[in-house]
Structure 1
């Protein structure tokens, strides 16, 4: 009996201790104001923003999407809602509860899941009415991202043909090479498909939670999406937007770029010393080891080299695409922003220029002989440098209201002020180079259309943070040799030939319709032996000692007049 009493007493004391401990813990939680931000988020936010903060009917709330928003700004949004959105006010939550929600939002989300079923279920087909955009020349179509308004514009020359809304649009739009479609990626993983033939947004799909870039196979069959969350590459059937392959990877992809000369695409990692080549016919991925990670890179206009920079931006390296052997190395301070590089031809040489992040200069490099030509102080930390064969200048932004014009002949500088005290950023050109498009990078900003040669302003369209602009010709590497060809034409052919009118020699439009590529090359390099075979009575054309790249460029330029 005594043993039973002792046992019951022991249980009673144990239970009492546990109860006291629980009670004391509860009091401490209340006194310390410990509120579970995760539970509050799941209760009030997850229905629209997702259990993983991935975004469903509302935007994602992962830390990388909130970098530009202060805690104060987020607090105000939660408390008072956002105008013209479906988000309700949560004014019944107290200050501490909102602060704990914000802490939870700032916390990295581990092991985010997004699989094939999620991708398929995200697909949405639009039922918009067709409209005729009345495009005269696809070469002069330019897309504009108005980021502050979540909107995309379609322009031809100085006119706006259409505008449509697309939430969280950032940049990186991609055309199909037939000029009939383009694709709009967002940072939160959505890809929209717009038909230029039908004049409407057709459909969209969500590839992942955090998307890096999109690319197309050169035959137009597949659309590639590189993803940072989860880390993978999603391959879609371009026409249906159905996933056909998901390749999981280990690393932060820098970007994937397609080749036009063969069925291949290439991507690298910002944090891993490796590179993948993708067969865009078979969709096989092959991994290669590098000595260092490639943070940012571009593929040269003739698709022979990869020009990249290592992770901390201390050097510039050139790799042979076929062998991946290093061809050139140069130490350089300030990470080259190679995605924003621009290219041109002059006096038998090919060049590129790049800005450098957090440095007040751009650098000029000679390609194929691979050497640094010039470092040019532009007076501030810029982000883009652009040019076109119809301009004598590099058009550079420097983080201020100034447009810096660098003369391609002697690298002298002059500055213009598109809008006083408003930041200018990024110039794009129409395909023919007649028009220049400038962004005034402000909430109450502008999209300016200038004549390239005179700098005369033609149009001023009000815009809310206009950023990237994407011309059909200037944003497709396959057309870069054609642009070089325009420069060669102006240097070597202008005196005897015209593009479309009869001059001393036949117009390029006539040559393009009448001659095949072999005949063009033969007449350029050895006219004394080919003029009779081509039906000419005599020859007045000199032989040009062009190298292979110059020949391709001038022939591509001539061929561009075939349908004109």
Structure 2
């Protein structure tokens, strides 16, 4: 908590002495606004937006009560350059705090402000020695304001970046990733150079970031001001500012077409963005969508209306509702997880301030199961390499939900330390668990045996982002892994010859169409593929299953 408080106030001691003399000469101000402008705005900004010091808008200081704020202003903080303002009387300090609590109005952050904020770093290049981008995982250590770069069980790099908020985004070539912060900064890290390259402040209060599928543009959705900022990805130069009248839920890119989608939390609007020509189109909905995700095959939006009273599914193309169901407690859809089993596709989601998760069948759209996990959690995760859903419930327990039987068992990673959020390596061999405490840990487990491999001390570790698991483009590939285990591995191996040829060989020699034809109708394709006889059974797979298994096979093309 100490480090969180330290990040709130950062005033240089350079101005302490003149401030004291001026205050003594002019007397006590009655207005908190006037006092703030006179003594605080130089570092915290005239609009409390933050300049050399962090923002002091209500949403950034809501975790500090008036007593704590009063003490910080009066007595400063240890190990910072902020001066003591002990010469201020209680009335003066309380007036400043009262102004800090007032809602912000007409916050501006212009294109010129964005350009002026850009900073280029010149740190030495490092060779991170990455073996496979598929197994690179990023870790946010919130309490220490750091981001880690990991591969398998090893930490390859750590770098400082404060106030990280929202999902980190990789480029699809695996060469770069981008880090968003709550106060509007976006950092660019090069995995090729092993260093933070630059950062820029897109706005005052940021919601999330996204990348166009061609990697040309970066989109930042902002709550202050209410707009979408479009940056040229490589240079971080602003190319378009699109203002909206409402609070943006989030913007997500599509990988099947040059398009992105966002909704407003407080108005019944859906926007589509052409990510090639940067044209924005607005459409009316019957109700606002508070939170949503896009299904793995990019045909539907799964969302919840304001206050989370129902779950709704919309067709992306027509924007028509195709399913709705009443729910109890708002689902945290950003934390949903997906899997395939016996010809069907599923997702599970936690519910805010509720002690259960729900399991839903996709595409047939129905509630499958409501499962009490014993507490109010925030994340549910899985991987084809695991038979379980990995769920946190606000305690020190890891709740494991069997995906076949929906039975529960619990493990305690560390007694008395709150467990939150699991991420997996791309191949599923490793599981990364956060122990959400100032004296916490980042644990690396072997996924199938739960054996602990590494324990890295960490100050409030939270989000973790694997290259494969955090890109919707690769979700069908993960389903394909499950299909392989159900239907293929009796005859095929991924890289070694078995009864049938290895996937690596198939991926190199055959087109997608040839692979699909051989799966569904081998009796009529084996001669074309050069076989003297057919030994392969036909599989009755639907289009989504075929897409998934082909994506999985093709992932071994360079193996």
TM > 0.5 between the two? Answer: yes
The match for 2:333 is 338
1:537 to 518, 532, 537: 532
Local SS of the residue matching 2:308? coil
Equivalents in 2 of 1:355, 1:151: separation in Å?
27
Pair 1:177 & 2:172 matched = yes
| Counterpart contact for 1:438–1:449, Cα < 8 Å | yes
Equivalents in 2 of 1:127, 1:154: separation in Å?
19
Pair 1:143 & 2:141 matched = no
The match for 2:117 is 122
Q: Cα offset for 1:34?
A: 7.3
1:71 to 66, 75, 85: 66
Equivalents in 1 of 2:468, 2:274: separation in Å?
25
Equivalents in 2 of 1:508, 1:79: separation in Å?
67
The match for 1:472 is 467
2:302 to 303, 307, 314: 307
2:357 to 345, 358, 362: 362
Equivalents in 2 of 1:114, 1:246: separation in Å?
10
The match for 1:283 is 278
CA-to-aligned-CA distance 1:287-311 (integer Å, 9 cap, x gap): 0000000000000000000000001
Equivalents in 2 of 1:387, 1:72: separation in Å?
43
Pair 1:448 & 2:443 matched = yes
Greater CA drift, 86-95 or 523-532: 86-95
Q: Any residues of structure 2 matched to 1:415-430 within 5 Å, and which? A: 415-430=410-425
Pair 1:211 & 2:206 matched = yes
Q: Any residues of structure 2 matched to 1:447-526 within 5 Å, and which? A: 447-526=442-521
Local SS of the residue matching 1:499? coil
TM-score, length basis structure 2 = 0.94
Any runs of at least 4 consecutive aligned residues in structure 1 with deviations exceeding 4 A, and if so which? none
Q: Cα offset for 1:532?
A: 1.2
RMSD: 1.1
The match for 2:431 is 436
| Counterpart contact for 1:146–1:464, Cα < 8 Å | yes
| Counterpart contact for 1:145–1:171, Cα < 8 Å | no
| Counterpart contact for 2:389–2:402, Cα < 8 Å | yes
The match for 1:21 is none
Please list every run of 5 or more consecutive structure 1 residues that lacks an aligned counterpart in the other structure. Answer: 1-29
Q: Cα offset for 1:339?
A: 0.3
| Counterpart contact for 1:147–1:170, Cα < 8 Å | no
Local SS of the residue matching 1:295? strand
Equivalents in 1 of 2:558, 2:75: separation in Å?
57
Equivalents in 2 of 1:42, 1:501: separation in Å?
70
Aligned residue pairs total 533
Local SS of the residue matching 1:312? helix
CA-to-aligned-CA distance 1:320-378 (integer Å, 9 cap, x gap): 00000000000001001000000000000000000000111000000000000000000
Local SS of the residue matching 2:148? strand
Pair 1:188 & 2:183 matched = yes
Pair 1:412 & 2:407 matched = yes
The match for 1:547 is 542
Equivalents in 2 of 1:44, 1:377: separation in Å?
52
Rg (Cα) greater in structure? 1
Local SS of the residue matching 2:306? coil
Q: Cα offset for 1:547?
A: 0.3
The match for 1:349 is 344
Q: Cα offset for 1:89?
A: 2.2
The match for 2:101 is 106
